Amino acid sequence: MNRRSTHLLTAGAALAVTALTLSACSGGEGTGDGGGDAAYPSEDITLIVQAAAGGGSDLTSRALANELEPILDTSIVVENRPGASGSTAMQYVADQEPDGYTIGFVPVEIAMLGHQNFDVDPADYDFLGQIMLAPGVLVVPADSPYETLDDFVQAAQSQELSVANSGAGSIWEAAALGLADETGAQLTPVPFDGGAPALAAAVGGQVDAAVAGSGEVSAAVAEDQVRALAIFHSERHPDLPDTPTAAEEGYELEFGGWGGIYAPAGLPDDVRSTLESSIEEAATSDGFVETVTASGALPVYKSSSEFTEFVSSEYERFGQILGNG
Amino acid sequence: MNVISDGLVPLLDVTVVVCLLAGLLVGTFVGLFPGITGSMAVALAAGFTLTLEPVQGLAVLLTIYVGANYGDRIPSILVNTPGTPAAIATTLDGYPMAKQGKAGLALVASSFVTTAGILVSMAVFLVAARPIAQFALEFGPSEMFALVVFGLTVMISISSKSILKGVIAGIVGLAIATVGRDPVTGDERFVFGVNELNSGLPFIAVIIGLFGIAELFDQLVTHREHLVRPISSLGRWWPNRREIRQMGKPFALGSVIGTFVGIVPAAGGDIAGLIGWDRAKRMSKEPEKFGKGSLEGLTAADTSSSATLGGSLTTTMALGIPGDSVMAVMIGSMVIWGLQPGPSLFSNSPDLVITIAAIMIIATLLSLLISLVRMRGMVRLLDLPQHYLWAGILVFCAVGTYTTTNSMYTVWVMLASGVVGLVMKRTGFPAGPVVLGLLLGPLAEANLRRALLIDGPASLVTQPISAVLLVLALVGLATPLVARVRASRRREPRAEEAHVTSGRGR
Amino acid sequence: MDASASQVTPSEPDGVTPAPTSRPLEIASAVGALVFLGALAFLARRIEVRAETGGIDPRWWPELLGTVGVVLALALLVVAVVRPMPRDDLESSTHRGFVRLGLTVAITAAYLVAWPLVGFLVATALFLVAVTAVFGGRGWGALVLFPAITTGFIHLLFDVLLEVPL
C-alpha cells in the first residue's frame, strides 16, 4: 500500500508543481498592489453574472468579455453568482469596492426586484451602458382562433385567458399584467419554470397564449408551431418581419428583457470613463453584435447617461404595474 | 444512403476526433467530481466552443454530456456520493454492493447497462424521433403533475426498513423544497429575511451532504482502527451467466422508462433513475434485496437514468424544446452556430441529425472503453489509507459544491446537510425519500397550481394521460401497503409476498 | 419490511458490532420529527401573501404537508414507545468516533470561514493538513505532500482548465 501511495504522490507532485507555476504566471500581473496609481486597469476585472452558466445572460456576458479583453488589455473573469432571482449577484456587486475591478451584467430585473420585497435598489449602482434588448412577443398556439392582438384582447374582455410566462416575478409576467392593465382584458398569467417550458405550453396548446423574449420564440414562429400576434417594441424585429408591433395594433406597450453593464456606485471618474468608452466599443463591435443577433436579441446600445435614465424610468413603471398586480 | 454518408463524413476530420476526445475527458472528470453536473460543464465548455465549427463544437458538448453519465456512477458506487443528480438512484444498490466487496462487478455492470441504455434510446431517436416527440407536447401542467405524483409513490419503495420513517423523511424533503419564493405568486415562504433562501436550498449541496458527507461522517463515528475495511476487496469483475440473465428484465424496463421520461421536457436522469429502480423492484422476484446490493436494482437505475439521453435529445432536436438542463444549454449554442433545432431540422438537414446521432453513439462506445480501462485504477483509490480518502472526499465535495454558485453559503448548506444526514442515518430515517421530496416537491406543487390556474380541477382527471398516471400512482401506493399487511399477517415465505407485489404492480 | 430488519446484511464482516436498539433514541427522533413538522404546520399558516386569493394559495401546500406530517410523527411516537425499531443495520458508534466527527466539523467550519479571508490556496492546504492529521495521517507524505498536491490539482482543474475562479 505504501509503495502505491508513494507512486501516486510522485505523479501528483509533478502536477502540483505545474499548477503552482501556472498560477504564479497567471497571478503575476494581478498581484500588483490593488488600487495603486498604475493606470486602470492593472489587474483582472471580474464580471458578475446573475444567472448560471449557459443561459442568455451568461452567453451575452461572455461574448462581451471576449470583446472587452483586448480593448482594456486585461483578463476579464466571468463569475456566475446565480440565485434568488438575480438579487444575490446584485447585492454582491453593490457590496464590492467601487474600483472598477468588479463590474456586472445587469438585467431588467433590477427595475423590478425592489417592488417584489427584494433588497435591491438601482441607486446603489453606476450604470455603464446598455448592451442588448430582447423585446417581448405575444404568441398563441398555431390552431388558436385569435389572429391579431385585437382579436385576443377583445376575447379577453368577456372571458379569462391564460398567458404563460417564464416565472413568478419575471419580466414576461409583468408584460402580461401590463397588457391587462392597459386594455382591461382578463388575463391570468401562468408562471412556468423558465422561458422554454412556457413556450412549450403554448406550442402544446395548454395555455391560450404566452409572452416570451424574441430569441425564444422566433424559431417556433418560423416553424409554425405558434403564431406571433405582436411584439412589444417600437419597431419590428428582423427575425419576425411579419409580426406587427403592439403600437401598430393600437396598443402603446413596450416590454423588453434588456441587459447592460453596471458597477457598484461611486466609481472614480477616470475609471468610469475608461469603462464607458470600452463598453461602447465592445458592445458595438462586429463580434458582439453577431453573437447577440444570432441569439435572437437586438444589439441595442445606450450610453451610460441614457441607460441610467432608462433604468430609473423602468423602475418607476414597474412600480406601478407590480403595485397594481 | 446519401444522407447517412453526408452525415458521417464530417466526423472523419482530425479536429473533430480531437474534440471528441477532449469532450470525453472533460465529461468523465466532471461526472467524477461531485457537485459539477453535466449541464454546468457543458455550459462552461460552450463558452470555448462558440468559436469552433458547429460539428466540432457539437462533438465537444455531446461527448461531455455522455461522458458525465459514466463518470458520475463511480463516486456513487464507491463512496455513496452521486457525481451528478442523475446518479442518485445508483447509490441505492451500487454502494451496498461495494460494501459487500462487489465494487468491481458493480462498476462493470453499471458501465455496460449505461452503454446499452443510451444505445437503445438513440435507436429510438433515429427511428421515430418526430412522431414520438409529438408525445412530449401532450405534457402540460396536469400531465406533469400526474407524472410527479406517480414519482412520489417511489417513496414507499425506498423506505425499505420502516414505511413510517420513510414517508416522514419524504414529507421533510417536500417541506424543505417549499423554502423560497412561491412558484406562482412569488410570495416569500420560510425565507426569514435570509436573501439566499429566496431561491430555496441548493439541491446539489443537499444531496451531496445527505449522501456523501453523511456517509463519511458515519464512518468517522464508527471507524475502528483494528478492523479491515470490507470495501477494499474487489471480488469479481464480470457478471456470471446467471447474473446476466437476471439483468435482462430490469434492463428492458429501465430503457423503456428512461426513454419515456427523457422525452418529457424538464424530467431528466435523476427522476428516471428513481422511477426505474422502483418499477424494477415491484416486478422483481427478489424485491427484498433491493437497496441492499441488488444487481437488478443497479441495472434498472443506471439503464433508465442513461436512457433519458436519447429521449431528451429527441425532444430537443425534433421540437426545439429542451428535454433537460444540458439540452437547454445545447440549444443556446446551436442557435449561435445558426442551427435551429425543431421540426424542420429533420426535413431540412437530415445529415446533421445523422451527425449528431453518430457523435452520441461514438461517444458512448468510447466512454465504455475508457471506463473499463480506468476502472481498476479507480477502485485502487479505495486502497489508499483511510485518511487520504476521507480528506479527499471532504475537500472535493466542498470545492465541487462551491463552484455550483460561487458562494460559500452553498458549502455551508452541504456541511449542515451532512450533519443532518448523519443524525437521520443514526436514527433510521432514510435519505432517499428526502431527496425525492426535494426533487419532485416543487414540480408537484407548481404544476398542480398551474393546471388549476389554466383549467380548474377538472383537467386533472379529464385529460387521459394524467388520469391514467394518477390511477397508476394510486395502485402503486396501495399495493405495497396491502402486500405488507398480508405478509405480516400470514408470515409466509418472502418469495410469495414478492409475487403478490409484482403481480399487482402491473 | 419490519421482519427483514432482523436479518443482518449477510456480508457484514466479522468483528462489526451492530448498534443497539434504543428506545430513548427512537422517542427522541419521533419527537424531533414532530417538532419540525409541527413548526412547519404552524409557520405555514403565517406565510404572508400579497394578494389573498383563498383556495389553493401559497400556504396550502406547506400546510397540507405539515398536517399530514404531524399525524405521521405522532404515529411514529407511538411505535417508538411500543416497539422501538432495531438498528442492527448500523455499526455502533465509538466515543473516539464522536470526537473525530466533532473535530472534523469544527475544522471544516473554520475552513469555510477562512477561505474568503485568506484565499483558496492557503485555506485549502491548511484544511487538508488539519483533517488528515485528525484522520490519523502522520509523516511528511500525509501532512505536507498530500495537501500540497491535492490543492494544486484542484487549482489546476478549476482556475486554469475550466476558468472557474475559486
Is residue C89 included in any domain, yes or no?
no
| C-alpha cell at position B280 | 424494477
Instruction: Choose the closest CB to C49 out of B187, B487, B494.
Output: B187
Between chain B and chain C, the number of residue pairs with CB atoms below 8 A apart is: 202
Residue C21 identity: T
H-helix segments, chain A: 2-28, 56-72, 87-95, 149-158, 171-183, 195-203, 214-222, 269-283, 286-294, 304-324
Question: Do residues C21 and C78 both lie within one domain?
Answer: yes
Is residue C88 included in any domain, yes or no?
no
**How do the domains of chain B map onto residue ranges?**
2-505
| Residues of chain A contacting B395 with CB distance shorter than 8 Å | none
Please answer yes or no on whether C13 and B228 come within 8 Å at the CB atom: yes
Q: Which among A206, A239, A286 is the top mutation candidate for probing chain B, defined by the most B β-carbons within 10 Å of its own β-carbon?
A: A206
Please answer yes or no on whether C29 and B427 come within 8 Å at the CB atom: yes
| pLDDT band for position C15 (cuts 50, 70, 90) | low
What distance lies between CA A101 and its chain's CA centroid?
21
Is residue C22 included in any domain, yes or no?
yes
Listing DSSP states for C10-71 in one string gives: TTPPTTPPBPPP-HHHHHHHHHHHHHHHHHHHHHHHT---SS---SS-TTHHHHHHHHHHHH
Domains and CATH numbers, chain A: 44-132+256-324 (3.40.190.150), 134-232 (3.40.190.10)
Sign of the alpha-carbon torsion through C45, C48, C54, C57 = negative
Pairing mode, if any, of strands A125-141 and A226-232?
antiparallel
- With 80 as the cut, is the pLDDT of residue A139 above it? yes
Buried b (16+ CB within 10 A) or exposed e, B206-215: bbbbbbbbbb
| Residue A38: Cβ within 10 Å count | 11
- Is the pLDDT higher at B15 or at B489? B15
For residues B182 and C58, the answer to whether their CB atoms sit within 8 Å is yes
B494-505 vs B269-283: helix axis angle to the nearest 10?
120
d(CA B335, CA B54): 10
Is residue C17 included in any domain, yes or no?
yes
C133 to chain A nearest CA, in Å?
A: 17
pLDDT at res. A29: 37
Percent of chain B beyond pLDDT 70? 93
Question: Do residues C75 and C134 both lie within one domain?
Answer: no
Q: Say what the ipTM of the complex is.
A: 0.88
Task: Note the pLDDT tens digit of each residue in B187-243.
Answer: 889 988 887 888 888 888 898 899 889 989 998 998 876 655 555 556 678 888 889
| C-alpha cell at position A149 | 392582438
Q: Which among C89, C121, C135, C156 is the top mutation candidate for probing chain B, defined by the most B β-carbons within 10 Å of its own β-carbon?
A: C135
| pLDDT band for position C114 (cuts 50, 70, 90) | very high
A197 to chain C nearest CA, in Å?
A: 21
Phi and psi for B239 in degrees, rounded to 5? -65, 145
Nearest to B40 by CA among B64, B72, B18: B64
In this prediction, residues A292-319 reach a mean pLDDT of 92
pLDDT at res. C12: 42
d(CA C11, CA A294): 59
Q: What domain range includes position C112?
A: 95-162
SS3 of B491, please?
Answer: coil
Pairing mode, if any, of strands A76-80 and A256-264?
unpaired
Residues with Cβ within 8 Å of B466's Cβ and at least 6 positions away in sequence, in order, are: B142, B143, B145, B146, B459, B460
d(CA B453, CA A174): 17
A88 to chain B nearest CA, in Å?
A: 7
pLDDT at res. A1: 38
d(CA A96, CA A73): 22
Nearest to B312 by CA among A105, A75, A196: A196
Out of A100-104, B47-51, B418-422, C127-131, which region has the weakest mean confidence (pLDDT)? B47-51
Furthest-apart CA pair in chain C: how many Å?
A: 67
Task: Note the pLDDT tens digit of each residue in B354-391.
Answer: 999 999 999 999 999 988 887 777 777 777 788 898 99
Domain tally, chain C: 2
Nearest residue on chain A to C166, alpha-carbon basis: A79
| pLDDT band for position A80 (cuts 50, 70, 90) | confident
Q: What is the mean pLDDT of chain B?
A: 85
pLDDT at res. B36: 78
pLDDT at res. B235: 67
Chain B CB within 8 Å of residue C100 CB = yes
| pLDDT band for position A25 (cuts 50, 70, 90) | very low
Please answer yes or no on whether C165 and A15 come within 8 Å at the CB atom: no
**Cα R_g (chain C), whole angstroms:** 24
Phi and psi for A134 in degrees, rounded to 5? -115, 100
d(CA B309, CA B289): 28
- With 70 as the cut, is the pLDDT of residue B185 above it? yes
Task: Note the pLDDT tens digit of each residue in A213-254.
Answer: 998 898 889 889 999 999 999 999 999 999 999 999 888 899
Q: Which among C27, C60, C61 is the top mutation candidate for probing chain B, defined by the most B β-carbons within 10 Å of its own β-carbon?
A: C61
End-to-end, the C-alpha distance of chain B in Å comes to 42
For residues A100 and A70, the answer to whether their CB atoms sit within 8 Å is no
Please identify which residue in the block is written with the cell numbers 421540437.
B319
Question: Do residues C8 and C52 both lie within one domain?
Answer: yes
Residue A59 identity: L
B29 to chain C nearest CA, in Å?
A: 10
Instruction: Choose the closest CB to C132 out of B184, B391, B488.
Output: B391
Please answer yes or no on whether B391 and C131 come within 8 Å at the CB atom: yes
pLDDT at res. B233: 55
| Residues of chain B contacting C57 with CB distance shorter than 8 Å | 185
Question: Do residues C12 and C71 both lie within one domain?
Answer: yes
Phi and psi for A251 in degrees, rounded to 5? -120, 110
For residues A138 and A211, the answer to whether their CB atoms sit within 8 Å is yes
In this prediction, residues A196-213 reach a mean pLDDT of 91
pLDDT at res. B461: 78
pLDDT at res. B248: 92
Question: Do residues C99 and C121 both lie within one domain?
Answer: yes
Q: Indicate the residue among C53, C82, C111 that finishes a domain.
A: C82
Between chain A and chain C, the number of residue pairs with CB atoms below 8 A apart is: 46
Residues with Cβ within 8 Å of B384's Cβ and at least 6 positions away in sequence, in order, are: A1, A4, A5, A8, B392
pLDDT at res. B258: 93
Question: Do residues C148 and C102 both lie within one domain?
Answer: yes
Task: Note the pLDDT tens digit of each residue in B40-97.
Answer: 788 878 877 877 888 999 999 999 999 988 888 999 998 888 888 899 999 999 999 9
d(CA A271, CA B430): 56
Is residue C87 included in any domain, yes or no?
no
- With 80 as the cut, is the pLDDT of residue A89 above it? yes
- With 70 as the cut, is the pLDDT of residue B493 above it? no
| C-alpha cell at position C48 | 404572508
Question: Do residues C65 and C102 both lie within one domain?
Answer: no
Is residue C9 included in any domain, yes or no?
yes
| Residue B149: Cβ within 10 Å count | 23
For residues B182 and B175, the answer to whether their CB atoms sit within 8 Å is no
Out of A28-32, A149-153, A290-294, C33-37, which region has the weakest mean confidence (pLDDT)? A28-32
Question: Do residues C78 and C99 both lie within one domain?
Answer: no
Chain B CB within 8 Å of residue A322 CB = no
pLDDT at res. A16: 41
Q: Which of A206-210, B311-315, B396-400 has the highest average model confidence (pLDDT)?
A: A206-210
In this prediction, residues B97-123 reach a mean pLDDT of 92
- With 60 as the cut, is the pLDDT of residue A193 above it? yes
Question: Do residues C59 and C121 both lie within one domain?
Answer: no
